[in-house]
Amino acid sequence: MVQRKKNSTTGLLKNKTALLTALAIFAVVSGAGAQQLVSATNSQLGSVQRDLAATSALSAPSSGFENYLLVGSDSREGADPNDPDFATIGSGAETLGRRSDTLMVFHYDQATGAGALLSFPRDLWVRIGDGENTARINTAYQEGTDVLVRTIQSNFNIPIHHYLEINFQGFKGLVDAIGGVEICVQYPSRDKNTGLYIPPGCHNLDGVRALAFARSRYFETKIENEWRLDGSSDIGRGKRQRKFIAAMLNTALTRVLSNPFSVSSAFDGVTGAIITDSNLDLTEFAKKMRPAAKGDISRFSLDVYSDSVAGNSILKLGEGSAAVLAFFGGSAPAPEPEGSD
């Protein structure tokens, strides 16, 4: 068991995308009836760390749905100086503290099996935990995973039933284990901060390039021989991440069906980078992810607007977010999801 404490400088990261894919892989294999692989994978799942602090803050079960908080930290723990992206990621010594780099909620409908994803921009201004202090939402993780869970629940009236986290190294390893993920872009695309460059067309991204794509906040496209910055920053990044999840799940489904034994390598060395709450049954969660792997997953974003606090740029929740939050909170039907473009 892992007992998380507030202001701890330890902890593993997560880019939610990778964990969803890993569990989708397991779901496909178990559904195919490859019992020997299921047994091997269950053994690997035993090494997943459990977070007692996050568990203590979770909501009681809700009728008809479950929400999973998927967290990605900007901690550099475990970064290898020999990695090709070390210069852009940095080390734990260079980047102190722990903040959530990515926050998503995966919503599972127990009646239909449909899934939905909602992103929270990391610059969103919120009340931290149950207290009176306000800050960007990505700082809540610094106070403890329990504080982060309570921050989501109290600010947005969304119950959180389970918690999942994975680190950058695990994310890259998983992408490589499934043979990369195909991403298509219409124009040359780059982010000089993450080291990303993608020529126009469809390309199979390895773990390093996939992480650079998923982390990109300064995404540029070259149109009419001019580099144009996506000024939406975290808004655009969240949309690209949700598209990446869909592509990653589909890639995992296709490749594992063609080679079921790849599940072993997909989990090897990755489960040690995964942290969940104490109550989460990963086998059952994997089964719930199978429809998402086939494409039955809707993507949503929050209506936000720019503001400033003490001269610092932030985002605040707009009125247009009410319908989306009501759906994820279980009190209203799903609004129209975002398009596939």
Dump pLDDT digits (tens) for 240-280.
Answer: 887 787 777 777 766 666 665 555 555 565 566 678 899 99
Question: Which of 307, 335, 301 minimizes the C-alpha distance to 121?
Answer: 301
Cα of first residue to Cα of last residue in the chain, in angstroms, is 42
In which band, very low, low, confident or very high, does the pLDDT at 150 lie, cut at 50, 70 and 90?
A: very high
Question: Which of 176, 252, 165, 250 minimizes the C-alpha distance to 208?
Answer: 176
pLDDT of 256 reads 62
Q: What percent of the chain has pLDDT over 90?
A: 40
pLDDT of 6 reads 45
- Rounded CA-CA distance 213/205 in Å is 9
Cα separations in angstroms, 160 against 4, 149, 176, 261 = 18, 7, 30, 34
Of 5-9, 247-251, 285-289, 304-308, least confident by mean pLDDT is 5-9
Helices vs. strands in the chain: H and E counts, helices first:
11, 17
pLDDT of 24 reads 43
Query: Residue 139: is its pLDDT beyond 50?
Result: yes
Question: Which of 191, 146, 172, 221 minimizes the C-alpha distance to 18?
Answer: 172
Query: Residue 134: is its pLDDT beyond 90?
Result: yes
- Rounded CA-CA distance 13/97 in Å is 12
- The 10s digit of each residue's pLDDT in 51-68 is 999 999 999 999 999 999
- Rounded CA-CA distance 265/45 in Å is 13
Average pLDDT over residues 301-328: 94
User: 183: helix, coil or strand?
Assistant: strand
- Rounded CA-CA distance 333/313 in Å is 33
Torsion, CA 205, CA 211, CA 212, CA 217, rounded to 10: 130
- The 10s digit of each residue's pLDDT in 212-237 is 998 888 999 999 999 999 977 778 88
Q: Which residue has the tokens 């799903």?
A: 334
pLDDT of 275 reads 83
Question: Which of 24, 45, 246, 72 minimizes the C-alpha distance to 172?
Answer: 72
Cα separations in angstroms, 32 against 6, 42, 82, 257, 263 = 42, 15, 38, 8, 12
Query: Residue 289: is its pLDDT beyond 80?
Result: no
Query: Residue 103: is its pLDDT beyond 60?
Result: yes
DSSP 8-state class, residue 108: E
Of 16-20, 29-33, 291-295, 314-318, least confident by mean pLDDT is 29-33
Of 36-50, 98-112, 137-151, 190-204, least confident by mean pLDDT is 36-50
- For the entire predicted model, the pTM comes to 0.75
* Residue with more model confidence, 110 or 253: 110
Long-range contacts of 143-146 (CB under 8 A, 24+ apart): 143/6, 143/7, 144/4, 144/5, 144/6, 144/7, 144/8, 144/53, 145/4, 145/11, 145/51, 145/53, 145/54, 145/57, 145/71, 146/4, 146/53, 146/54, 146/56, 146/57
- Asked whether 166 and 18 are in contact (CB, 8 A), the reply is yes
pLDDT of 67 reads 97
Q: Which amino acid is at 271?
A: T
In which band, very low, low, confident or very high, does the pLDDT at 69 lie, cut at 50, 70 and 90?
A: very high
User: 30: helix, coil or strand?
Assistant: helix
Beta bridge partners of 107: 67, 116
- 3-state helix, strand, coil split of the chain in percent (to 5) is 40, 25, 35
Q: Which residues have CB under 8 Å from 80's CB, separation 6+?
A: 86, 169
Average pLDDT over residues 75-99: 57
Which domains can be identified in the chain, with CATH numbers? 16-178+251-328 (3.30.420.590)
- Rounded CA-CA distance 156/328 in Å is 9
Average pLDDT of the chain? 78
